[in-house]
């Protein structure tokens, strides 16, 4: 036990040394108070009036697309939810509500959506059942990231002027909750734009509370209030919102403190010390199903060795990582699905299974060294990719690099420019020569199947290692078809025991949504539910 404490001290020393620059930039030095569940806030007090302009930063950088079917990153999805109405929506506590449409489960294999009668696109035309059916079929196209959500869908048809019927090959419990992340685009506009839909040149035509005004590539995206928005209760307070693309954590913290930028979601952990005591605004932590993980990025190469992947699970001190790099605003995590994705009614089932992974993947350098020794590793350099300008990722990678060295591995850290890094998440050509990738993950709904499906089904976008276990696929389909929560949880836990053995994802920490908002504003949704709603419509003046 004493040996473990000595090693922990060495790890903390390394990371504290790396954080000196951040502390000197205006934050507090020394130990940070961990963020407890009682500190988490879902939303700020409601706005009291209009504002002319909000400048909001996208910490992940410029969106690679605003095509809703491919808007799978925090930055692209955030903008799309402000411009385009989703069929259903989540509230700040992740409860599912009607939105552009209401729904009725006619049978386990038939779902009927009824579109609100008063909805209009930005150009004044009515949102029809044909537009809704087209939007769902657009998202179901195999070339789109969202397509796996439609695996059980047999057909999508506009059956009346205001109703769309979705029929399924087998029951699909997952599909309805995902309607909170399926938005509607105008059919005629999309057909004309074709492959340019959602680009700076092609634009969008939606029915949301904001209109896309201008996208200046490399600089900003500006949207203006849709004064004819059908949902009067959600009329935006801001006449205009400008999204900036600052990815450097230090520069962003300085701009927030100076009032040059009004707010941002998903702030880097390295910004926390500099913003905790800001006079310009307040820093808020919210419940989130997000996580930081290391992904094995290809099926071949040095990381194809199973013992080597298992060694990574044992060599990383997750507690030290959460405490120092994330300043207490994160929790050690031991499975690919974050605990925040567990449905509340079955938490005990998931937690029991989780504890077995917590025990088998706890920090144990001796176990890691043994696994490395029995692997096929012969001293090859292992390339770990991170996003340039993300100080928390850089410091996390340094910790991993140092602990890998102690385990007998050589890791090279490769920084990628934000846009290329984002593209590498879904484009294998951008991952050439990379063995591991440090990246965040999230579930847009409180459902473990979403993140599991994106990573462990054959040929899906984020299955970087070509993982294909027929039993896992069978159990996934069974869980997806099960409406009973208890039975579904049992199936997911059984499946988890299989895919986690592959160690293709090395979970590190479960992170909170970290939001900063200028004192002149209020109303922000501060849980990760913001991603599934028009979050900027809630933000307005703090005073009348």
Using one digit for the tens of pLDDT, what is the confidence trace for 231-251? Answer: 998 999 999 999 999 999 899
pLDDT at 56 over 50: yes
Q: Which secondary-structure segment (H or E) carries 21?
A: helix 20-24
pLDDT score, position 359: 96
9 — pLDDT class (breaks 50, 70, 90) = very low
pLDDT score, position 145: 87
Can you read off the two tokens belonging to residue 291? Answer: 């996580």
Range list of β-strands (E), 153-280 = 153-160, 163-168, 210-216, 220-225, 238-244, 263-264
pLDDT at 22 over 60: no
What's the mean pLDDT when you consider all of the chain? 90
Distances 470 to 142, 292, 295, 460, 467 between C-alpha atoms, Å: 21, 28, 22, 14, 10
27 — pLDDT class (breaks 50, 70, 90) = very low
Architecture of the 289-511 domain: Roll (3.10)
- For residues 398-417, give the mean pLDDT: 96
16 — pLDDT class (breaks 50, 70, 90) = very low
CA distance 525 to 42: 6
pLDDT at 466 over 80: yes
52 — pLDDT class (breaks 50, 70, 90) = very high
pLDDT at 383 over 60: yes
pLDDT score, position 31: 44
Determine which of 290-294, 358-362, 391-395, 475-479 has the lowest per-residue pLDDT on average. Answer: 391-395
Entry pTM: 0.78
pLDDT score, position 242: 98
Tell me the percentage of the chain whose pLDDT exceeds 90. 74
Distances 541 to 81, 161, 264 between C-alpha atoms, Å: 21, 40, 16
35 — pLDDT class (breaks 50, 70, 90) = low
142-183 tens-digit pLDDT: 999 889 889 899 999 999 999 999 999 999 988 988 898 899
- Where is pLDDT greater, at 290 or 413? 413
pLDDT at 537 over 80: yes
pLDDT score, position 191: 97
pLDDT score, position 15: 37
Burial 407-419 (b: 16+ CB within 10 A, else e): bbbebebbebebb
pLDDT score, position 37: 57
Cα–Cα–Cα angle for 226, 230, 234, rounded to 5 degrees? 75
Residue 266 φ/ψ region, left for φ over 0, alpha for ψ in the -120 to 50 degree band, beta for the rest? left
pLDDT at 367 over 50: yes
pLDDT score, position 10: 37
Q: Closest by alpha carbon to 67, among 88, 89, 87, 83?
A: 83
pLDDT score, position 178: 87
434 — pLDDT class (breaks 50, 70, 90) = very high
pLDDT at 402 over 80: yes
pLDDT score, position 152: 92
26 — pLDDT class (breaks 50, 70, 90) = very low
pLDDT at 18 over 50: no
442-461 tens-digit pLDDT: 887 778 998 899 899 998 88
188-231 tens-digit pLDDT: 999 999 999 999 999 999 999 999 999 999 999 999 999 999 99
């Amino acid at each position: 036990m004493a040996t473990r404490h000595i090693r922990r001290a060495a790890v903390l020393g390394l990371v504290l040394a790396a954080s000196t620059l951040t502390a000197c930039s205006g934050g507090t030095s020394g130990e940070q108070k961990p963020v407890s569940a009682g500190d988490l806030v879902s939303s700020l007090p409601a706005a009291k009036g209009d504002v002319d302009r909000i400048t909001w930063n996208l910490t992940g950088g410029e969106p690679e697309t605003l095509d809703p079917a491919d808007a799978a990153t925090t930055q692209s999805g955030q903008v799309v939810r402000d411009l385009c109405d989703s069929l259903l929506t989540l509230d700040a506590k992740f409860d599912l509500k009607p939105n552009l449409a209401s729904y009725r489960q006619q049978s386990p294999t038939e779902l009927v959506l009824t579109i609100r009668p008063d909805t209009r696109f930005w150009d004044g035309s009515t949102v029809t059942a044909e537009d809704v059916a087209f939007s769902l079929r657009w998202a179901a196209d195999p070339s789109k990231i969202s397509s796996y959500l439609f695996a059980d869908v047999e057909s999508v048809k506009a059956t009346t002027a205001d109703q769309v019927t979705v029929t399924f090959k087998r029951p699909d419990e997952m599909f309805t909750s995902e309607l909170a992340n399926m938005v509607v685009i105008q059919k005629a506009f999309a057909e004309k734009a074709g492959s340019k839909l959602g680009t700076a040149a092609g634009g969008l035509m939606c029915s949301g509370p904001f209109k896309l005004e201008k996208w200046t590539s490399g600089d900003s995206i500006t949207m203006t209030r849709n004064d004819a928005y059908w949902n009067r209760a959600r009329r935006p307070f801001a006449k205009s919102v400008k999204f900036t693309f600052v990815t450097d954590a230090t520069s962003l913290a300085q701009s927030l403190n100076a009032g040059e930028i009004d707010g941002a979601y998903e702030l880097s952990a390295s910004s926390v010390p500099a913003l905790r005591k800001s006079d310009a605004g307040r820093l808020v932590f919210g419940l989130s199903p997000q996580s930081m993980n290391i992904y094995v990025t290809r099926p071949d190469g040095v990381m194809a060795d199973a013992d080597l992947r298992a060694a990574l699970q044992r060599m990383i001190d997750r507690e030290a990582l959460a405490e120092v790099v994330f300043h207490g605003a994160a929790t050690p995590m031991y499975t690919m699905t974050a605990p925040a994705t567990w449905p509340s009614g079955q938490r005990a089932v998931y937690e029991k299974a989780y504890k077995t992974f917590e025990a088998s993947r706890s920090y144990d350098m001796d176990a890691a060294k043994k696994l490395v020794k029995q692997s096929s590793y012969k001293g090859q350099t292992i390339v770990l990719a991170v996003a340039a300008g993300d100080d928390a990722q850089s410091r996390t990678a340094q910790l991993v690099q140092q602990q890998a060295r102690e385990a007998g591995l050589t890791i090279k850290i490769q920084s990628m420019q934000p846009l290329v890094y984002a593209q590498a998440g879904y484009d294998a050509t951008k991952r050439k020569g990379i063995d591991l990738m440090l990246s965040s993950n999230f579930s847009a709904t409180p459902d473990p199947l979403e993140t599991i499906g994106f990573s462990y089904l054959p040929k899906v976008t984020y299955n970087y290692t070509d993982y294909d276990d027929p039993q896992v696929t069978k159990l996934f389909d069974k869980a997806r078809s099960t409406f009973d929560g208890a039975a579904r949880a049992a199936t997911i836990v059984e499946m988890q025991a299989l895919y986690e053995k592959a160690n293709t994802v090395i979970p590190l920490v479960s992170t909170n949504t970290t939001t900063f908002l200028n004192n002149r504003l209020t109303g922000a949704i501060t849980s990760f539910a913001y991603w599934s709603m028009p979050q900027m419509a809630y933000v307005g003046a703090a005073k009348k």
